Amino acid sequence: KAGVTQTPRYLIKTRGQQVTLSCSPISGHRSVSWYQQTPGQGLQFLFEYFSETQRNKGNFPGRFSGRQFSNSRSEMNVSTLELGDSALYLCASSLREPTNEKLFFGSGTQLSVL
Amino acid sequence: GENVEQHPSTLSVQEGDSAVIKCTYSDSASNYFPWYKQELGKGPQLIIDIRSNVGEKKDQRIAVTLNKTAKHFSLHITETQPEDSAVYFCASRFNDYKLSFGAGTTVTVRA
């Protein structure tokens, strides 16, 4: 079974631009979570989707948004990029639903904002 | 929101020795506590998890203990090997859909 796939692997953007990251969960998983990982802040929860519905959102500004499609693939978008948005963005899908236990993470998208 | 503190931030052990990482959480309603291992260039990988109705769980060389009264839980790795070198994260779940992570522990196993 293929794991969680995130694309692209690396991104370089400049301040003010917007970016879209993609995540394909493990086949059959309907829950997708997004986390931001930075050296100083660890992993911070962004949002979680289950069957195309956002069930929970973390404490991030409205510039961060996401969605989930009917095939469970998910995208997250960051608009008006700031230098502080540079981070590894991780996507995870859950084996155990609907409690969202046993998350399986992708390798992440490394975003650099210049 | 839930706050998870993790100690130590770095840990160096001799191959064959044991490693212990400790975490504390703030919300007594937290009910699920996973541990993740992250190797360089990869996403975190679940290595063991425990629910609040269980005090201890073991899987080969890895064990997790939970003290609900004190609101802390620990990861124990016995007979450490070089491949155990990685960053380890603890996490707790306050509500059903999100995890709060500790800041991570970088474990180095010296040969």
Percent of chain A with pLDDT over 90: 80
pLDDT band at A39 (very low <50, low <70, confident <90, very high): confident
Q: What is the mean pLDDT of residues B46-72?
A: 94
3-state secondary structure of B84: helix
Question: Cβ contacts of residue A52 below 8 Å, gap of 6+?
Answer: A67, A68, A69, A70
**Is 90 exceeded by the pLDDT of residue A42?**
no
pLDDT band at B1 (very low <50, low <70, confident <90, very high): low
Best CA proximity match to A92, nearest among B32, B43, B1, B41? B43
Residues of A in contact with B32 (CB under 8 A): 99, 101
Cα end-to-end distance, chain A, whole Å: 37
Percent of chain A with pLDDT over 70: 95
CA-nearest residue of chain A to B99?
Answer: A45
The predicted structure's pLDDT at residue A17 = 98
Q: What is the mean pLDDT of residues A66-71?
A: 96
Residue contact A106–B43, C-beta within 8 A:
yes
Residue B89 in contact with partner chain A when CB distance is under 8 A: yes
